[in-house]
């Protein structure tokens, strides 16, 4: 099945990450590039995200959203899943392998991303709180346990389950947020895994497109 029309996604007008590709539109852009689907981007300000027009698309007033004809989606995992279902290339054809790849998508957003977000929100919002010095090592330790488990499962493989899939796309996108933290240093196979994801041409195209927003070179027309 091919998508009937050019989808439109939303992204930050001014991303807090200053174009490092850590906002969640990146994983959607990456998936669209992997399958060769052109797309449009509507940039939204923080104020606009909280207004009724955007909340009609995204109940929580966030990015990314995905519009394609009558279909409106939010949640990056769901959007990537939709793209992967509508195009060949991101999910295996074999039913069991497909189910396993989808499982890794869920694992990325439901099991690995939460402790990463916990670390980030702790650092961002609790740095001036009296409990910060005690809480930070606990949060880091919990995250190390999860990373150790993921590292053990990946082992020497290139990807989590056979060929690259939407499961790897989501997992790499989630792990990328840790790159600057130093926490990945003790897991060389995870560092190599992330680097393999970043080296994919589709990742590079998506990264350049989101960076263009920050450098002022974004074209509101189609991407891809
Ligand atoms: N679970 C959602 C999270 C969406 C999310 O947190 N988006 C961030 C950008 S990466 C956002 O819009 N933050 C602004 C806000 O929450 O006000 C997803 O995966 O799409």
Distance CA 36, CA 92 (A): 17
pLDDT tens, position by position, 52-106? 999 999 999 999 999 999 999 999 999 999 999 999 999 999 999 999 999 999 9
Task: Find the helix or strand (DSSP H, E) in which 146 lies.
Answer: helix 132-154
Q: Which of 24, 118, 210 to mutate to test the pocket of ligand 1 (most atoms within 8 A of CB)?
A: 24
- Report how far ligand 1's centroid is from the alpha carbon of 64 (Å): 7
Nearest ligand 1 atom, CA 74: 20
Tokens found for residue 140: 């880091």
Beta-carbon-side half-sphere exposure of residue 176 (alpha carbons within 13 Å): 23
Angle at 22 between CA 184 and CA 8, to 5 degrees: 145
Contacts for 103 with CB less than 8 Å, ≥ 6 apart: 167
Q: What is the DSSP letter of 108?
A: I
What residue owns the CA closest to ligand 1's atom 15?
Answer: 62
Residue 64 to residue 82: CA distance in whole angstroms: 14
pLDDT above 80 (res 113) = yes
> How many Å from the N-terminal Cα to the C-terminal Cα in the chain?
19
Q: So what's the pLDDT on residue 222?
A: 54
User: With 60 as the cut, is the pLDDT of residue 3 above it?
Assistant: no
Rounded Cα distance between 78 and 39, Å, is 17
What is the reported pLDDT for 218? Answer: 78
* Alpha-carbon gap, residue 47 to 129, rounded angstroms: 28
Q: What is the pTM of this model?
A: 0.95
Instruction: Measure the CA–CA gap between 108 and 156, rounded to whole angstroms.
Output: 19
Q: Closest ligand 1 atom, CA of 46?
A: 17
């Amino acid at each position: 099945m091919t998508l009937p029309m050019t989808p439109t996604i939303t992204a930050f007008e001014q991303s807090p990450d200053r174009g490092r590709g850590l906002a969640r539109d990146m994983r959607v852009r990456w998936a669209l590039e992997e399958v060769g689907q052109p797309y449009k981007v509507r940039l939204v300000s923080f104020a606009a995200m909280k207004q009724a027009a955007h909340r009609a698309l995204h109940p929580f007033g966030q990015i990314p959203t995905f519009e394609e004809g009558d279909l409106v989606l939010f949640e990056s995992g769901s959007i990537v899943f939709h793209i992967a279902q509508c195009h060949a290339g991101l999910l295996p054809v074999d039913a069991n392998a497909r189910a396993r790849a989808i499982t890794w998508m869920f694992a990325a957003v439901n099991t690995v991303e939460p402790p990463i977000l916990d670390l980030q929100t702790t650092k961002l919002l609790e740095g001036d709180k009296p409990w910060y010095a005690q809480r930070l090592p606990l949060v880091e330790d919990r995250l190390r346990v999860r990373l150790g488990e993921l590292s053990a499962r990946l082992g020497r493989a290139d990807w989590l389950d056979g060929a690259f899939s939407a499961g790897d796309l989501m997992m790499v996108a989630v792990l990328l947020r840790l790159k600057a933290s130093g926490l990945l240093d003790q897991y060389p196979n995870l560092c190599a895994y992330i680097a393999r994801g970043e080296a994919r041409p589709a990742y590079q195209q998506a990264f350049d497109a989101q960076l263009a927003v920050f450098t002022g070179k974004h074209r509101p027309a189609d991407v891809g």
